[in-house]
Amino acid sequence: MRHTLPIAPQFYVTAPQPCPYLDGRMERKLFTALQGDTASKLNDSLSKQGFRRSQNVLYRPSCTDCAACMSARIKVADFTPSKSQKRVLKRNAHLSRRARSPWATEEQYNLFRDYLDSRHASGGMADMDMFEFAAMVEETPIRTRLIEYTSESAATELQAVGLTDVLDDGLSMVYSFFQPGLDKDSLGTFIILDHIAIARDLGLPYVYLGYWVPGSPKMGYKANFAGVEVHLDGEWSPIGAPEDYDAALHPLSSDPIAEQVAKINLPDSRS
């Protein structure tokens, strides 16, 4: 009988490129492939350590002189909606939710294109075609769902979409997009609020939001939810006052890559 030892994930670093969140800075990512029978356990474990999924890759920022990006999540038990968030829920009460398997449709892509053209026309995803969109949605080795929000009274039925991973301790919001021109409805906020409700119904303690970046207008909204925690210095802590965080450059803010990898806790492949 042949016995094979499990292969530990290999970690790599991307080449520096312009940061999409803070002008004049360069970003670099630490990443590993997400594949095989242990993909779900690896995704669960590394998500708790500040990593994010993009298709078949897990990554987290590893910039040489900047540590502004912090993974953020909402502790469901500590969340209560603010007055403005209650108004958002009321304004969108007409929307219906449906969960689907991660299979891309032309209707989703058309909404995705309208969203990008309106809000992120110069962003890194601006040139994505239907095939690339389908890859973003469908290339997942773990439990992923498309959460669609529809309205029978609107000219376009599909109003918003969330691409969401189901982890062992929460929901991870991979990407979301929605009808442009409906700023007063705050659909982006509504999608997060509804994911909190889904997590609560499923008995999951967290909703993972991606990265919060102090000083970035694009990412500041994530601090507006009660119960937000950030992953800093290897631990999750309540965010506290957002204005207390410093996004200044610090040449010694990141450990060497070898030390970062050595501190990563990997799941036991035998369990």
Q: What is the per-residue pLDDT across 240-265, written as a single tens digit (0 to 9) for each?
A: 988 888 777 666 567 788 888 888 99
pLDDT above 80 for 266? yes
pLDDT above 60 for 6? no
Q: What is the CATH number of the domain that holds 116?
A: 3.40.630.30
pLDDT at site 5 = 41
Q: Within a domain: residue 254?
A: yes
- φ and ψ at residue 117, rounded to 5 degrees: -60, -30
Average the pLDDT over 192-210 and give the result. 98
Q: How many domains does the chain have?
A: 2
Q: Which residue has the tokens 């993972």?
A: 208
Query: d(Cα 146, Cα 163) in Å, to the nearest integer?
Result: 5
Do 23 and 150 fall within a single domain?
A: no
Q: In which domain, by residue range, is 64 found?
A: 11-69+248-262
Q: Within a domain: residue 271?
A: no
Three-class secondary structure of residue 53 per DSSP: strand
Do 115 and 234 fall within a single domain?
A: yes
pLDDT at site 3 = 41
pLDDT above 80 for 121? no
Task: Specify whether the CB–CB gap between 191 and 178 falls below 8 A.
Answer: yes
pLDDT at site 114 = 92
Do 199 and 97 fall within a single domain?
A: yes
Q: What is the mean pLDDT of the chain?
A: 89
- Lowest mean pLDDT, pick from 1-10, 19-28, 74-83: 1-10
